[in-house]
Structure formats: structure tokens, C-alpha cells
Amino acid sequence: MTNAKNSPASALILGISLVLGLAVLGVLLGTAASQYRQFERSVTVKGLSEREFTADVAIWPLQFTEANNDLPKLYVLLDERVATIKAFLRDKGFSSDEISISAPAITDKSAQQYGNNGNSPFRYTAEQTVTVYSENIEKVREVSRELSELGKKGIAFNGNNYQAQTEYIFTKLNQVKPSMIEEATRQARAVAEKFAEDSDSVLGKIKRASQGQFSISDRDKNNPHIKKVRVVSTVEYYLSD
């Protein structure tokens, strides 16, 4: 009889305990969720580093074309042209190690199945390239402006051919990468700090970061030897009140 009388009271106490427990749990979960959301507040910013460097390698192709109806004579003429160009370059201060000669590309127009070759007075045409590979950028730029000396000797260069354009290369990217990444990251943090200040927040640690690809381009079309190196870093920071 005692157990029967106490069973309703026990059930009531158990029910109240469960209600209070769930209420406390709800409050705790709500507080935890609020703190979690606050911890998850963040801002994503970008930092830029952009610098200019002078190229350190020049690849300068001197490409010319000759034509003749006699193939052996054409080869003799090509050898003479190459010898003249090499002598010119050595006189200007380039070493033999900086000069390379490509094999001539010969076209026999009478052997071509397609194309209108009737207007050409020569059966054979040949294209050959003498290439200068040098780390002396200024010398390449200076001597390239003196090609009229070779033009006066009957050598016509294919200056408008894309393959005959001088290529300037910047090979020291790995040397400047660390400082540029540091600069980009520093700029990104400055932007994040300004955002935090404007939003009455406190800037926290880095949540995630990604380094963009480095790009190298000519500063402008008139100065292809001056390279513009650029990188953008993306950084996400935690924010708190």
C-alpha cells in the first residue's frame, strides 16, 4: 500500500526533474550554439603584391630568308649569310657560346601540290635562324637596334614573324616568392584589421589561407624586358566581439 501511495508523488518528482533537466540542457545548448556561431564569424580578404623586375635572359632570334633556283648555290648563300651574322655579333661583344645556328628550312615550290607558285621567280626558298641566348639584356637591346648594318649587306630579316620576336625571360621567381607572399599576406591582414575596426570586432587567427598563382607579364609592349610579377593571396580570419 505504501508503494502505491508514493507512486504518484514519485512520478511527479521524476517529471519535474526531467522538465528541469531539459530546460537546463536547452539553455546550455543555446549558449553553446551562440558561442559556436560567434566563434565561426569570419572575414575573407585579399592581399596583393606586385613588383617590377628586369628580365635576366634574352633569347634573340635573327631569322632571314633567301631564295634561288639552284639548290647548291642556295646553301652556299645561306652559309655566307650565317658567317656574316656571326661575325657581326662577335664584333658587338657576344661570345660563340651565346650564338647558335638552326638547320635551314628549304621549300621546293615546284614540289608543292597546292598553292599558286607561278608568280615566284625562284624554285627554292630557305629560312634560317641565328639565335643569341644571353644574360646581357642591355647589350641585346642595343645591338638589335643596329641590324641596319647587316641590312646594308643584303640580309633581310623576318622581323614581323612571331617566331623571330625577341623573348625576355625572368628566371628568378623562386628568389622573390617568399618576400612577395609575405607582402601579400601583410596587406590582407591590414584590410582585415580595418574591417574588424569598422565592424567593432576583434580580429582573430587565420581560419584558412590560399596563395594565388604567380603571374609574369610584360610591363608594356614597348618594354618587354621589364617584367611585372604579381600574386594575390586570399586569407580568412576569425572575428569576435
Q: What is the CATH number of the domain that holds 215?
A: 3.30.110.170
Q: Are residues 223 and 210 in the same domain?
A: yes
pTM for the predicted model, two decimal places: 0.74
The confidence score (pLDDT) of residue 240 equals 87
The confidence score (pLDDT) of residue 109 equals 86
Burial of 69 (0-12, 13-18, 19+ CB in 10 A): exposed
The confidence score (pLDDT) of residue 63 equals 95
Q: Which of 169, 193, 221 is the last residue of a domain?
A: 169
Q: Are residues 83 and 98 in the same domain?
A: yes
Residue 135 resides in a domain? yes
Q: Which of 150, 169, 188 is the last residue of a domain?
A: 169
CB atoms inside a 10 Å sphere around CB 184: 23
Where in 4-86 does DSSP place strands (E)? 42-54, 57-68
Burial of 64 (0-12, 13-18, 19+ CB in 10 A): buried
Q: Are residues 224 and 131 in the same domain?
A: no
Measure the CA–CA gap between 65 and 102, rounded to whole angstroms.
13
Q: Are residues 120 and 46 in the same domain?
A: no
Q: Are residues 62 and 153 in the same domain?
A: yes
Q: Are residues 205 and 101 in the same domain?
A: no
Q: Are residues 218 and 141 in the same domain?
A: no
CATH code at position 147: 3.30.70.2970
Structural domain boundaries enclosing 156: 57-169
Q: What is the pLDDT along the chain (241 residues), one digit of tens a residue?
A: 445 445 666 666 666 656 555 554 444 444 443 344 455 688 999 999 999 999 999 999 999 999 999 999 999 999 999 999 999 999 999 999 999 999 999 999 887 656 555 567 889 999 999 999 999 999 999 999 999 999 999 998 987 776 778 999 999 999 999 999 999 999 999 999 999 999 899 999 999 998 889 999 999 999 999 999 999 999 999 998 8
Q: Which helix (H) or strand (E) holds 204?
A: strand 202-211
CB atoms inside a 10 Å sphere around CB 73: 12
Residue 190 resides in a domain? yes
Residue 17 resides in a domain? no
Domain count, the chain: 2
Q: Are residues 185 and 223 in the same domain?
A: yes
Q: Are residues 185 and 136 in the same domain?
A: no
Where in 94-194 does DSSP place strands (E)? 99-101, 105-108, 124-134, 167-169
Q: Are residues 165 and 221 in the same domain?
A: no
